[in-house]
Amino acid sequence: MELSDPYNRKIRSRDLAIDLDVLRSFVAVAELGNVTRTAHVLGKAQSTISTHIRRVEEVYGCSAFLRSKSGVALSEQGAVIREVAERILQLHDFARAEIGGRGLAGRLRIGIMDDFAIDHLPIVLRRFAAGHPGVRLDLRMALSGELHEAIEARDLDVAVARRPFGERGGYEICREHLCWVSNATWNGIDADGVLPLVMFPSACLYRGHVTDALEAARRPWRITCTSGSLAGVCAATFAGFGITVLAESTIPATLRKVPESAGLPSLSPTEIAIFVSRDAPKDLSTALIEEVRATMRPVESL
């Protein structure tokens, strides 16, 4: 059918239109290389992310990703689409800031917990920088307990950290499951009957929750290795020093969840929130909170 009249041109224009939210999902999948992880980071259903990817491929008439068991990688055409999509999103965020009259400038000291930084931080910071080019960001990676201390001491303006169990402070972002995690060969049987643990230092807010759960279950335990970084904890667990506990979204492909048949105690979900110092610049901290919440929509499944 000829598309020469205005009505048909309007139909074709609508068919080729693409929503900004679709582009954000596409860019996030390209960055994280995994649809399931992207769904968790953005707080969307996995089916929604898959629908967004299909929409991009329909509009541009190509396969944007090469798929494998371990995840997805951009095809040659997908790399071109990503470059264009990032440019579109940056221009949109910049226009939104300019037209909104925000024109923010200054310095913002941000603390991010280590396991949040791996997946979520690049997406949040890219959007924030595009919308607020006049703001200088000073970043610190640390465990949640250390970030809470820095907020109290006013050494940080804003911190994205886990809430202490039983407390309600901060602006909640999401909740996620805590999982027992091991390497592929751990069979749940300890030669001496004591459970070997690979743990974060005491500044990790769920370390005490884990050991309390083991005590309540009367399961003997000992800490065989301690590391202050997620990479260190995962490496030691993979090497067989023991099992560990990780937030579900941070479990790498090299490790696995311990099956329920191992008889380990269940753990309460962990809550992630944004905490703001009393001396933080209000306009800058508010803008960052808005960006984090827009990027990480609350997870309702827990």
Spatial contact of 132 and 100, defined as CB atoms under 8 Å apart:
no
Q: Does residue 194 form part of some domain?
A: yes
Residues 58 and 185 in one domain: no
Which residue range is the domain that position 253 belongs to? 178-268
* Mean pLDDT of the chain, nearest integer: 84
Region 291-298: what's the mean pLDDT? 69
Is 302 contained in some domain?
Answer: no
The answer to the question of residue 300 being in a domain is no
Confidence of residue 15 (pLDDT cuts 50, 70, 90): low
Are 139 and 276 found together in one domain? yes
What percent of the chain has a predicted confidence (pLDDT) above 90? 39
Residue 147 and residue 201 in one domain: no
Angle at 234 between CA 195 and CA 254, to 5 degrees: 105
Number of domains in the chain: 3
Residue 163, pLDDT score: 86
CB-based burial label for 114 (10 Å; 0-12, 13-18, 19+) = buried
Q: Is residue 249 part of a domain?
A: yes
pLDDT tens track for 35-94: 888 887 777 888 999 999 999 999 999 999 998 877 889 999 999 999 999 888 878 877
pLDDT of 2: 44
236 lies in some domain: yes
Decide if pLDDT at 117 tops 50.
Answer: yes
Each residue's pLDDT tens digit, 130-179: 778 888 889 998 999 999 999 999 999 999 998 877 777 888 888 888 99
Label residue 1 by pLDDT band (50, 70, 90). Answer: very low
Q: Is the same domain home to 93 and 107?
A: no
Q: Among candidates 274, 291, 54, 71, which has minimal Cα distance to 171? A: 274
Identify whether residues 262 and 183 lie together within a single domain. Answer: yes
Q: Are residues 187 and 250 in the same domain?
A: yes
Residues 263, 261: Cα–Cα separation, whole Å: 5
Residues 122 and 245 in one domain: no
Q: Are 268 and 171 a contacting pair, CB within 8 Å?
A: no
Cα–Cα distance, 263 to 282 (Å, whole number): 48
Q: What are phi and psi of 251, to 5 degrees?
A: -70, 120
Residue 30 burial (CB < 10 Å; 0-12/13-18/19+)? buried
- Residue 151 and residue 192 in one domain: no
The enclosing domain of 156 has a CATH number of 3.40.190.10
Kind and range of the H or E run holding 234: helix 230-238
pLDDT tens per residue, range 256-271? 999 988 889 999 988 8
Domain assignment present for 301? no
Q: Report the C-alpha gap between 98 and 104 in whole angstroms.
A: 9
- Please give the biggest Cα pair distance in the chain: 81
Distance, CA of 295 to CA of 241 (rounded, Å): 36
pLDDT band at 118 (very low <50, low <70, confident <90, very high): low
CA distances, 1 to each of 4, 8, 59, 145 (Å): 9, 9, 19, 65
Q: Is the pLDDT of residue 278 over 50?
A: yes
Residue 296 neighbours by CB under 8 Å, 6+ apart: 41, 42, 43, 120, 124, 173, 174
Q: Is the pLDDT of residue 197 over 80?
A: yes
In a domain, 1, yes or no: no
Is there a single domain that holds both residue 200 and residue 154? no
Cα–Cα distance measured from residue 7 to residue 128, given in angstroms and rounded to the nearest whole number: 39
Residues in the chain: 302
Instruction: Tell me, yes or no, whether 71 lies in a domain.
Output: yes
Provide the 3-class DSSP secondary structure of residue 157: coil
User: How far out from the chain centre does Cα 197 lie?
Assistant: 25
pTM: 0.67
Question: Which of 76, 97, 118 is the C-terminal boundary of a domain?
Answer: 97
List the CATH number of the domain containing 65.
Answer: 1.10.10.10
Please give the structure tokens belonging to residue 287. 């803008």
